[in-house]
Amino acid sequence: MRTVKAFAPATVANVSCGFDILGFAIEGMGDTVQLIENNSQELRVVSITGDGGRLPLDAAKNTCSVAIQALLDELGIRLGLDIHLEKGLPLGSGMGSSAASAVAALVAVNELLENPLEKKDLLPFAILAEKVACGAGHADNVAPSLLGGFVLIRDYHPLDVIKLPVPSELHCVLLHPHYELRTEDSRSVLRDQIPLKYSTIQSGNVGGLVSGLFLSDYGLISRSLRDVIAEPYRAVLIPGFYEVREAIKSAGSLGMGISGSGPTLFSLCQGESSIPGIISAARKVYESMGLGVDAYHSAINTRGAFVIE
Ligand code: HSE
């Protein structure tokens, strides 16, 4: 029986100004999916570790099996697979947990089928799985998890995904406070209408951030990390948001925002020298609020998801 194992990394979606259209991948953390062919012609979610028993084993609801089934249906293939998911990412953290599971599953099944699809063509199936997992088919976690680096979703209909350059000194700090925020809840506080003046500010910053990445202009990146559309509404769901942002400013943060739908916060920085100061300043704020926090740092992951064996 054939077997394949694949890994997909955690991601930071939105990157402040790019709500639903910008994201990047981080090193080290992510989910692993192993597929083992079976004789049943059915997808079976056999084991999930690292989720505290909370994710569904029902193949109609699990993000891995939903993604795989969509791909098999598109290719007109019937295949029996046992799915083993190792969660390396906390649920409801804003680090692209559901996206990493779906992407790892798709990369694994594509390899098992001897790669009938190019990596980027796996994206629509991952978006579908995101919709099942959190009610919204956004691509700003699945695209960077799959492709690595910084990714812009220029359009969803039809899908137009653009890989952006990654300045070599760019690093990221992630601050994950010990509580959960469901993407559905964090999306429900957003407004349907955007005042024209905010649309102007946001467009300027998206353009600025993309230009900053192309030019490796860290000052421009820093000035562009501003979100007037989602952050003001979401910040109220995230204790310590403004205090942490203020505290890490003088520690060398280029800018800070909500990672995806939160509650994890991300900060970009140039080089690694400011990382210890950023983490220690943030920790002090969380401690003063009685909140536990896990801090990670990483370069930008430019590889994306890959087959392990
Ligand atoms: N763009 C999505 C949102 C990302 O902000 O809701 C969710 O991780």
Report whether 104 belongs to an annotated binding site.
no
**DSSP class per residue in 116-175:** -S-GGGGHHHHHHHHHHHHS----TTHHHHHH-SEEEEEEETTEEEEEE---TTEEEEEE
* Continuous segment of H or E residues that includes residue 112: helix 97-112
CATH number at residue 289: 3.30.70.890
User: Do 159 and 278 belong to one domain?
Assistant: no
Q: Which atom of ligand 1 is nearest to the CA of 94?
A: 8
Taking the C-alpha atoms of residue 221 and residue 260, their distance in angstroms, rounded to an integer, is 18
Nearest atom, ligand 1, residue 259 CA: 8
In angstroms, the CA 57 to CA 180 distance is: 21
Domain of residue 200: give its range: 170-299
Indicate if 152 and 287 belong to the same structural domain: no
Tens place of pLDDT for every residue, the chain, 309 residues?
Answer: 899 999 999 999 999 999 999 999 999 999 999 999 999 999 999 999 999 999 999 999 999 999 999 999 999 999 999 999 999 999 989 999 999 999 999 999 999 999 999 999 999 999 999 998 888 899 999 999 999 999 999 999 999 999 999 999 999 999 999 988 999 999 999 999 999 999 999 999 999 999 999 999 999 999 999 999 999 999 999 999 999 999 999 999 999 999 999 999 999 999 999 999 999 999 999 999 999 999 999 999 999 999 998
Kindly state whether residues 228 and 95 are assigned to the same domain: no
Q: Are residues 42 and 131 in the same domain?
A: yes
Task: Provide the pLDDT for residue 66.
Answer: 97
Three-class SS state of 284? helix
* Residues 40 and 144 reside in one and the same domain: yes
For ligand 1, say whether the CB of 257 is within 6 Å of any of its atoms: no
| Contacts with 292 (C-beta within 8 Å, 6 or more apart), sequence order | 177, 178, 286
195 is in an annotated binding site: no
The residue whose CA has the least distance to atom 6 of ligand 1 is 261
Structure tokens belonging to residue 272: 């690694």
Q: Is the CB of 187 under 6 A from ligand 1?
A: yes
Residue 230 alpha carbon, nearest atom of ligand 1: 5
User: From the CB of 92, is ligand 1 less than 6 Å away?
Assistant: no
| 106-107-108 Cα angle (round to 5) | 90
Number of domains present in the structure of the chain: 2
Cα 20 from Cα 194, distance rounded (Å): 15
Query: Is the pTM higher than 0.85?
Result: yes
Angle at 148 between CA 222 and CA 129, to 5 degrees: 110
Q: Are residues 110 and 183 in the same domain?
A: no
Residue type, 11: T
Residues 151 and 263 in one domain: no
92 labelled ligand-binding: yes
State whether 70 and 149 are in the same domain. Answer: yes
117 and 244 in a single domain? The answer is no
- What is d(CA 272, CA 150) in angstroms, rounded to the nearest whole number? 19
Report whether 90 belongs to an annotated binding site. yes
CATH of the domain at 104: 3.30.230.10
Ligand 1 centre to CA of 52 (Å) is 23
Task: Determine if ligand 1 sits within 6 Å of the CB of residue 234.
Answer: no
> Do the Cβ atoms of 29 and 296 come closer than 8 Å?
yes
CA of 14 to the centre of ligand 1 (A): 7
Does 141 contact ligand 1 (Cβ within 6 A)? yes
In the reported structure, the alpha carbon of residue 100 is separated from the centroid of ligand 1 by a whole-number distance in angstroms of 14
Which residues, including other chains, have CB under 8 Å from residue 176's CB and lie 6 or more apart? 90, 93, 95, 263, 264, 293, 294, 295, 296
CB of 20 sitting under 6 A from ligand 1: yes
Asked if 141 and 259 sit in the same domain, the reply is no
CA distance 238 to 229: 16
Kindly report the backbone phi and psi dihedral angles of residue 255, in degrees, each rounded to the nearest multiple of 5, phi listed first. 165, 155
Atom of ligand 1 nearest to the CA of 11: 8
